[in-house]
Amino acid sequence: MCLKDGKNNTLRMKIGFVGLGKLGLPVALAIEDKGHTVLGYDIDPNVKKILEKKKIPYKEKGADVLLKKSKIKFTSLLSVAKNSDLIFVAIQTPHENKYEGITRIPKTRKDFNYRYLIKGLSELSKCIDLQKKKKDVIVISTVLPGTIKKYIKPIISKYINLTYNPFFIAMGTTIENFLQSEMILMGTDKKESRKKLTKFYKSINNSPIFKTNIENAELIKVVYNTFISTKISFINSVMETCQYLPNTNIDEISKALFLCKDRIISNKYLIGGMGDGGGCHPRDNIALSWLANKLNLSYNWYDNIMKQREFHTVWLAKEIIKNKKKKSDKIFILGKCFKPETNLIVGSPAILLKNILEEFGQKVVIWDPYVDGNESQFKTKFKLNKQPSLYFVGTKHNYFKKFKFAKNSIIIDPFRYLNLKKNVKYIPLGKSIS
């Protein structure tokens, strides 16, 4: 097969695999089928037998066919380290059986077990150290956010350029999911690794590549799965609702939702900020939570949504209070509307925030240019022209981009859109610094 890199040149690389299990082996076969040479190492001797006997012991679509013609070389770890242009690491990060999800959720919760991954990477690291040459190592095992910084980086060689590049694949269809991935997630801080890996992926498919740092990539990998779980639990709650509501059918509901490609099956409403608002959503959810109780559903998902909205607003209130300079300081909320560029305040999460702050004994002033008007009157009344104050942006009005804040004011922005730099302390929420 003729492979092309981004510049239409034929590309043939030596790809190393450490860990040829249920993820590693099918992906290694798919990469080999694109014309690359694959070298693999696994501590389990059975893997060598699988490659020799050309029989895969688990069901994986398309793997048998590729394995029959495969020339993957099973070799030593040292040889993988020495002879590969890129080294993928697909070592297991298991959970105890009780966290698999086939029993009720245990009372305790636990991280994955990184013992095998740490051991495998530290052995690979020693082999790379011997070469004294920079190598690209690409971890594809699943880890929780923060793991690589905490457990992996401290134990690896200075010659390793590390990338976290987890795959969005489902067991059983690993090969086709890898070859037709909806996106390639590339977490690395090294420019040269991004370049090399991008070139490699251009030889595999034309999927969009999302380049970010390692911590973001770790989080994206797991929340991708959580989002799928969220969709499933939501629709199953609606399914229960249909079971008890006469003349309703869950498949009709799904079919209608599939058509909503603007607001529902789209990137809308997937940007962190204030809670949901308006004249329909909060009250619909509250009414549905009443119905769920009446129908005696197994779990009140609708109630759950409203609780999350409320707890999120309590969290915002606490972030504001945390940033006050003096206990007696007033808090100024800019924006009352639930929707930017309108004067609509029904079901407003900004007003909910004001109420919660007052519950906490805070002095709060809320002002919206499209509801209350007269900025100069507002500023004069509270001496805001000269006096540094604490602001929270409650509505993402473009108006606030031109709002003049007195020197040394503190501005908390849950939408991260004001991007203030000079003379004030600007706190964009949802962006942590290491």
Ligand X SMILES: NC(=O)c1ccc[n+]([C@@H]2O[C@H](COP(=O)([O-])OP(=O)(O)OC[C@H]3O[C@@H](n4cnc5c(N)ncnc54)[C@H](O)[C@@H]3O)[C@@H](O)[C@H]2O)c1
Residues engaged in binding ligand X (CB under 6 A): 18-24, 41-44, 47, 90-93, 116, 119-120, 123, 141-142, 167, 169, 171, 174
CA distance 334 to 341: 13
Identity of the residue, 22 or 396, whose beta carbon is nearer to ligand X in the bound complex: 22
Residue in the block written with tokens 């690359």? 36
Minimum separation from the CB atom of position 43 to ligand X (A): 4
Q: 210-230 in b/e burial notation, b at 16+ Cβ within 10 A?
A: ebbebbebbebbeeeeeeeee
DSSP string, 312-356: HHHHHHHHHHHT-SSTT--EEEE---SSTTS---TT-HHHHHHHH
Identity of the residue, 66 or 412, whose beta carbon is nearer to ligand X in the bound complex: 66
Identity of the residue, 169 or 344, whose beta carbon is nearer to ligand X in the bound complex: 169
Minimum separation from the CB atom of position 79 to ligand X (A): 13
Minimum separation from the CB atom of position 164 to ligand X (A): 11
Minimum separation from the CB atom of position 129 to ligand X (A): 16
User: What SS3 class is residue 107?
Assistant: coil
Minimum separation from the CB atom of position 20 to ligand X (A): 6
Q: Which two tokens stand for residue 36?
A: 């690359």
Determine contact, residues 241/291, Cβ cutoff 8 Å: yes
Residue nearest to ligand X (CB): 21
Identity of the residue, 51 or 316, whose beta carbon is nearer to ligand X in the bound complex: 51
User: What SS3 class is residue 54?
Assistant: coil
Minimum separation from the CB atom of position 222 to ligand X (A): 10
- Angle separating helix axes 214-244 and 301-322, nearest 10 degrees: 140
Identity of the residue, 171 or 264, whose beta carbon is nearer to ligand X in the bound complex: 171
Closest CA to 136 of 30, 9, 6, 15: 15
Identity of the residue, 49 or 119, whose beta carbon is nearer to ligand X in the bound complex: 119
